[in-house]
Chains A and B, each alone.
Chain A
Amino acid sequence: MTDQLNNNPQALKTRDELDKRIFHLQAIYDLTAELSPLTDTQKLLDTFLLMILGTFSVGQGFVLVYDRREKIVALSDRGLEHKATLSPEFTEKLLYQCLDVSAEKTLAPMSVTNLTAPDLFKTAGLSPATEYGLMFVVDSQLMGIIGLGPRISDTDFSKVEKTLLVNYVSNFMVFLKNARSFEMIQALNKDLEQQNEQLRKTIAELTEARHKITTLEKAKAQIKMIVQAELERAGRVRILDFVLILAVAMLVGLVFNFFSPNGIPLVSESIFRPSPALIDVAEAKKIIDTGTGVLVDARPNEFYRQEHIKGAINLPPALFDFIYMMKLSKLDPKKKIIVYGRNISKRYDEEVAYRLTQRDHEDIKVLAGGLSAWSKEGYPLEP
């Protein structure tokens, strides 16, 4: 059976073909297995390039992907002698040129097309020699090109191999799309996280601000209360007001009195004088009756006129000099003089007694108990 097969060239060819198909299926399976766990565009590109280089025994090549929306150029290359830094603008232009030389000139999503003039890449600085080029379009915003150098076996790509390559690229595009989506989701997630973080910060700041406002409001209320209480207090009558007014009056009064020409001693001088000798009413009566002494009423005239001891002479301190001259100047200085007249506020008797001593009178007595003691004894009064 095996021999029969071996001898039949048709059968051999078919078997060979089948072997190749199996190999291709195996290769596609491997590619799927390799690419499926990858979510990073650059790693995906690297792995995919390695796979096609390995599968088709190519020494050098590159895969370029361009994201038009984000203006991102991703490039994976192997064996290129030098490569230019590809700006988004340049890449976009290059892709248009590729579209121009592509076999189908289409931008349909998930399409792969051969490039008829792959030496175009050379001008872009991508390769010293490109044997085979492909352009793929994932969607209107995501597209790319693949360039492959000469094969190690130095043979051309067979039709089947070209189909396989297209299958490879189609497969790759699915993963690329997924990877881009994943990246986009990640970017969105990251963005969301950042926004969340910012939101959290804002909320924290707001909370803090609210705390601050509450505190400030409390402080404001407290200050307002204090100010109002203070105003209330200021509006009311305080003990301090009286103390202040009285203290100022006292101070100004003292100062003014001290400097005034009409100033008076704060305490009557009579306090510091020796108290004059006293005489009781009975004895005084005797002296008056015998005429051996003179009785002097020292109170002001109004009081004297109201009531006085019979026979007393009115000699108030205010008019002392004048009345003394009129009535007593001719009196014998040796003659006894009895003075009376005092009240709670004024000791007229002491004052007049003092002044009489100043006038050289030798025997001056003050009536003990004064007018009231006299009248209590029932002695005569006038008027």
Chain B
Amino acid sequence: MKFWEFAKKIPTSKYLALILRIYIGWIFIYASMYKINYAGEFAESIASYQLVPFWAVNIMAVFLPWTELICGLLLIAGIRSKAAALLIASMLVVFIIAIGINLIRGTPIGCGCFSSVEEPLNWVTLFRDIIWLAMTIHVYIYDTAFHLEKKFFMKIRDL
């Protein structure tokens, strides 16, 4: 009985949200590393999706990995983590749409998610990104534990 009650609480637990938060944050930090260092290769990946106008490809290749990195760091640290989670969720939505379009098109490209040398895009990639999106939404809704910024704000609240 007690175990059942405990199990019922898990899906909405803030500690589950914390674990997911760190996991998603880490994935985005990890994903950004290669792209930041090899912007040229990432630009090729973006171009291969054939969705971004050619004049915006390089700008996006420079800009997107840093957005991933900063959002990942903020999410793990718990600083403006809701905003970071929202940004990550929107990036994931964009990725999912882009992957979906190209899967339907049947374009023979790699995901470009982590590095340029990867297995080609497939439905597993899409499914994985949808799972990540669900995790991020969970984080957005239930995450309240261990926020760095709250350590500061709590003191003001105490006053």
Q: Which residues of A contact B (CB under 8 A)?
A: 227, 231, 234-238, 241-242, 244-246, 248-250, 252-254, 256-257, 260, 262-268, 271, 300, 302-303, 305-306, 318, 343-347
Contacts and interface: CB of A to CB of B under 8 A. Distances in A.
Contacts of A346: 47-48, 50, 54, 57
Contacts of A271: 55
Interface stretch (B11-19, B36-44, B131-139): B36-44
B62 interface: yes
Going nearest first, the 4 A-B pairs with the smallest beta carbon separation are A241-B83, A302-B108, A345-B47, A253-B66
B66 A249 contact: yes
B52 interface: yes
A305 B149 CA distance: 53
B51 A344 contact: yes
A47 B65 CA distance: 115
Interface of A is mostly: helix
A262 B58 contact: no
Contacts of A242: 83, 86-87
Contacts of B76: none
Contacts of B63: 249-250, 253
Contacts of A302: 108-109, 120
Given A238-B83, A242-B83, A257 B108 contact: no
Contact of B58 (A237, A248, A264): A264
A347 B54 CA distance: 7
Nearest to B63: A253
A264 B84 contact: no
B83 A266 contact: no
Nearest to A299: B48
Nearest to B42: A264
Given A257-B39, A267-B59, A345-B47, A305 B108 contact: yes
Point out which of A264, A268, A344 has the most chain B C-beta atoms below 10 A from its C-beta: A264
A256 B38 CA distance: 11
Is chain B's binding surface mostly helix, strand, loop or mixed? helix
A248 B66 CA distance: 9
Contacts of B117: none
Contact of A266 (B54, B59, B84, B109): B59
B53 A345 contact: yes
B70 interface: yes
A343 B52 CA distance: 10
Contacts of B71: 245
A257 to B, nearest CB: 5
B82 A237 contact: yes
A245 B58 contact: no
B159 interface: yes
Contact of B57 (A234, A257, A345): A345
Given A262-B37, A264-B40, A254 B70 contact: no
B1 interface: no
B3 interface: no
A345 B51 contact: yes
A271 B109 CA distance: 25
B24 interface: no
A125 B83 CA distance: 104
Most buried by A among B37, B67, B149, B159: B67
Contact of A249 (B57, B58, B70, B83): B70
Nearest to B157: A231
Contacts of B29: none
B46 interface: yes
B71 to A, nearest CB: 7
Contact of B39 (A234, A241, A264, A347): A264
Contacts of A300: 48
B58 A267 contact: yes
B74 interface: yes
A235 to B, nearest CB: 8
Given A260-B37, A266-B62, A302-B109, 18 more contacts: A242-B83, A245-B70, A245-B87, A250-B63, A250-B66, A262-B40, A267-B55, A267-B58, A268-B57, A302-B108, A305-B108, A318-B44, A344-B53, A345-B48, A345-B49, A345-B52, A345-B53, A347-B54
A260 B80 contact: no
A347 B57 CA distance: 11
B61 interface: yes
A345 B39 contact: no
A378 to B, nearest CB: 22
Interface string B141-159: 0000000010001001101
A344 B83 CA distance: 32
